[in-house]
């Protein structure tokens, strides 16, 4: 049997339920993964709430997991039973105990990367790699502002950008998170609850603004970011915790605005594997992951609710028996 978490209708986490279905063997061109840890991401909430739509309901949330290969179709080569692997991206449906997948979506995890902690960090790591290597060319001295710098993605971005020699500005919501951002390499940390991040950013940069801003919030935060970036700088929006409001063209005079979708980008298998390789190299070089938050598979409501509150520090995972 295969335990899955099924979304019955759009709404809050009460519309999810754990059920058991028959475990189907992989077809000749698939691999079956016995999942060990499942990443919990904001995109799961977007699909749960119906901001993004499934083709039909009921459906299964989830865009990433790590596990071990449990069965292999007869046409598949290059993998062995017991290999530790991870995957991220489309098709949706990682909130499940066993999963059959196209082998092109599966990436072997290096032995010196903790696969349990990779879950919840993999999609974020791929996103960070895209933001730091695909949207821009990473150069020492670039001034980069990372919003929500102590969250799951923000933590990775802050550490990685600092290691690349960038001058990191970080916005956070508490003194505790400010200390985390500083420890991760942020040179300038702004508590947006007590300070206006636009004013502080312009003050620190002598009115010039930063080269690059990464906004995972949306709403007014995105519009205010336009005021804190230098002329011909870049603002990338990669989330909508708050609805993304219409942009008046005059707001972005002399500004490059990007809304890159990592799920679309990694549909290209070559890009997917290249970003994964960059991310694994970074993880190994910086000594691994922060622990984040672990939940049992049947505690999925608590995991999603924690993510929604914004009180998580680092990634969130569901651990599968």
Tell me whether residue 126 is in a domain.
no
- pTM, 2 dp: 0.92
> 246 with 271, same domain?
no
> 141 with 248, same domain?
yes
Output the average pLDDT for the chain. Answer: 94
Residue 310 has pLDDT above 90, yes or no: no
Tell me whether residue 130 is in a domain.
no
Domain finish residue from 218, 243, 259: 259
Reported confidence tier of residue 311, pLDDT bands at 50, 70, 90: confident
Residue 240 has pLDDT above 80, yes or no: no
User: Averaged over 129-143, what is the pLDDT?
Assistant: 95
Residue 20 has pLDDT above 90, yes or no: yes
User: Averaged over 164-173, what is the pLDDT?
Assistant: 97
**Structure token pair of residue 26:** 């992989």
Quote the pLDDT of residue 315. 86
Residue 146 has pLDDT above 80, yes or no: yes
> 44 with 96, same domain?
yes
Of 253, 266, 259, nearest to 235 by C-alpha is 259
Reported confidence tier of residue 289, pLDDT bands at 50, 70, 90: confident
> 109 with 13, same domain?
yes
The C-alpha atoms of residue 24 and residue 26 are separated, in whole angstroms, by 6
Domains: count for the chain? 2
Per the CB < 8 A criterion, the answer to whether 33 and 98 are in contact is: yes
Per the CB < 8 A criterion, the answer to whether 192 and 204 are in contact is: no
User: Averaged over 296-307, what is the pLDDT?
Assistant: 96
Residue 313 has pLDDT above 80, yes or no: no
Q: Find the largest Cα–Cα distance for the chain.
A: 63
Quote the pLDDT of residue 171. 97
Quote the pLDDT of residue 321. 81
Reported confidence tier of residue 218, pLDDT bands at 50, 70, 90: confident
Reported confidence tier of residue 241, pLDDT bands at 50, 70, 90: confident
> 215 with 268, same domain?
no
CATH number at residue 33: 3.90.180.10
Residue-number span of the structural domain to which 216 is assigned: 136-259
User: Averaged over 239-250, what is the pLDDT?
Assistant: 82
Of 304, 290, 154, nearest to 217 by C-alpha is 154
3-state secondary structure of 144: strand
């Amino acid at each position: 049997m295969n335990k899955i978490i099924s979304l019955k209708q759009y709404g809050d986490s009460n519309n999810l339920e754990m059920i058991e279905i028959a475990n189907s063997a992989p077809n000749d061109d698939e691999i079956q993964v016995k999942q060990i840890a499942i990443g919990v991401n904001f995109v799961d909430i977007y699909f749960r709430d119906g901001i993004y739509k499934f083709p039909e309901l009921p459906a299964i949330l989830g865009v990433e997991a790590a596990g071990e290969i449990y069965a292999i179709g007869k046409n598949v080569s290059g993998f062995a039973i017991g290999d530790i692997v991870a995957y991220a991206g489309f098709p949706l449906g990682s909130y499940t105990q066993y999963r059959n997948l196209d082998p092109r979506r599966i990436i072997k995890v290096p032995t010196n990367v903790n696969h349990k902690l990779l879950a919840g960090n993999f999609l974020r790591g791929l996103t960070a790699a895209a933001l730091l290597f695909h949207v821009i060319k990473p150069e020492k001295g670039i001034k980069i502002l990372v919003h929500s710098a102590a969250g799951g993605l923000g933590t990775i971005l802050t550490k990685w950008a600092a290691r690349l020699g960038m001058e990191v500005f970080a916005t956070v919501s508490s003194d505790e998170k400010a200390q985390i951002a500083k420890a991760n390499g942020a040179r300038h940390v702004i508590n947006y609850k007590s300070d206006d991040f636009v004013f502080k950013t312009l003050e620190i940069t002598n009115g010039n603004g930063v080269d690059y801003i990464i906004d995972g919030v949306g709403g007014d935060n995105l519009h205010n970011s336009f005021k804190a970036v230098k002329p011909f700088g870049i603002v990338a929006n990669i989330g909508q915790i708050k609805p993304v409001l219409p942009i008046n063209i005059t707001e972005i005079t002399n500004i490059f605005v990007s809304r890159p979708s990592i799920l679309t980008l990694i549909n290209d298998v070559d890009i997917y594997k290249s970003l994964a390789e960059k991310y694994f190299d970074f993880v190994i070089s910086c000594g691994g992951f922060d622990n984040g938050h672990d939940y049992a598979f049947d505690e999925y409501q608590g995991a999603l609710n924690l993510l929604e509150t914004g009180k998580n520090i680092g990634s969130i995972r569901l651990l599968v028996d």
